Amino acid sequence: MHLKLARIITKNTNGIKIQIYACLICYLLFQLVEVPDEIGNKLLEKLRYLQAFMCEKISYINWFKELVFNC
């Protein structure tokens, strides 16, 4: 629900498969991301944290490395 899978973009079978796979990949990436304990561990809380954190950083590569690999 938080990954917007409830809204199907296309009616094409291949497009639906791609959308499902994209949502699953996003979900798994959210599970890998570590956020501070005071933020919380629920998926929606991680999404809100990432949205706020992305506004601070310009390069997606930098913030992703910091979150996942703690560089």
pTM of the complete model: 0.53
Say whether pLDDT at 57 is over 60.
Answer: no
Say whether pLDDT at 11 is over 80.
Answer: yes
Burial 56-67 (b: 16+ CB within 10 A, else e): eeeeeeebbeeb
Q: Once rounded to an integer, what is the mean pLDDT over residues 35-57?
A: 75
What pLDDT was estimated at residue 44? 80
Q: How far is CA 5 from CA 15, 17, 25, in A?
A: 12, 11, 12
